[in-house]
Amino acid sequence: MAHATAKHGYVIGKLSTIAGRYTLALSCGFVCVTRACVICVVVIFVGSAAAADEVTRAEEWFNKIKSIKADFVQVASDGTSAKGKLLFRRPSQMKITYLNENGGKGLQLITSKIWLHVDRPDEKLLTSYPLLETPLSLILAPKVSLRPNGYETRIKSSSAGVVQILVAKEEGEGAGRLTLEFSEKPFQFRRWIVVDAAGIQTSVTLYNLAFDTPIPNVAFKLPSYPADNGL
């Protein structure tokens, strides 16, 4: 199986394929993959008592759920867009599948307790990164905490029935802005928006959400590719 392990400072949240159509915005530093770029902004929350209350509410929401199934649509200010499906089973398993033009499976992100695996089925190539160096580790931990040190947060003014938590670092490594958006009734995560250091804004909106439904182990099984596809 082609399984190359990369050790970089941070793994990211914006993911693009050969044509650059696929972009996943999540949150934390930067890393480039062959024909795939994942960009992220490390998340940290510091702020007023009101902001802390909303952050606590968001943490409690993540800690309470057992699983999520959802479709998503992703749009970036550079003109790229994509659709796909998300599976999330706490505490450590997530699978994000981008759909290609004919509706088939394209690029995939699959996590385990230790790794974030980037599967490029068109190239029959699997590349892996330490999960702890990615923003996904924040919500895949046994106990979710959205308060790493060094960044600042505030509650953004938003329309009625919506809570938006802005997390920002203005300069240095991992600079960027992340907004986590929750609906009020019911209170649940529905969208994230990332503005990276280059000023590109990417919005990912979840829909057709289903919570706490069983997800079989096979859903997170890694593909097996011939050894000669390795790096």
Give me the tens of pLDDT residue by residue for the chain, a chain 231 residues long.
434 333 322 233 333 332 233 334 443 332 323 223 333 333 333 345 655 788 889 889 989 999 999 999 999 998 899 999 999 999 999 999 999 888 888 999 999 999 999 999 989 999 999 987 766 777 788 988 777 666 677 777 777 888 887 777 676 655 667 788 999 889 999 998 888 777 889 899 999 999 999 999 999 999 998 875 544
Cα 171 to Cα 169: distance, rounded to the nearest angstrom: 6
Which pTM was predicted? 0.72
Q: In what order do the strands lie in the sheet with 115-120?
A: 3-5, 125-130, 115-120, 105-111, 93-99, 81-89, 67-76, 201-211, 188-196, 176-183, 162-169, 152-156
Per-residue model confidence (pLDDT) at position 192:
84
| Class (C level, CATH) for 3-207 | mainly beta
Q: CB of 27 within 8 A of CB of 194? A: yes
Q: How many of the other CB atoms lie within 10 Å of CB of 102?
A: 6
Judged by DSSP in three states, 18 sits in coil
Q: CB of 127 within 8 A of CB of 135? A: no
Closest CA to 110 of 143, 144, 73, 85: 85
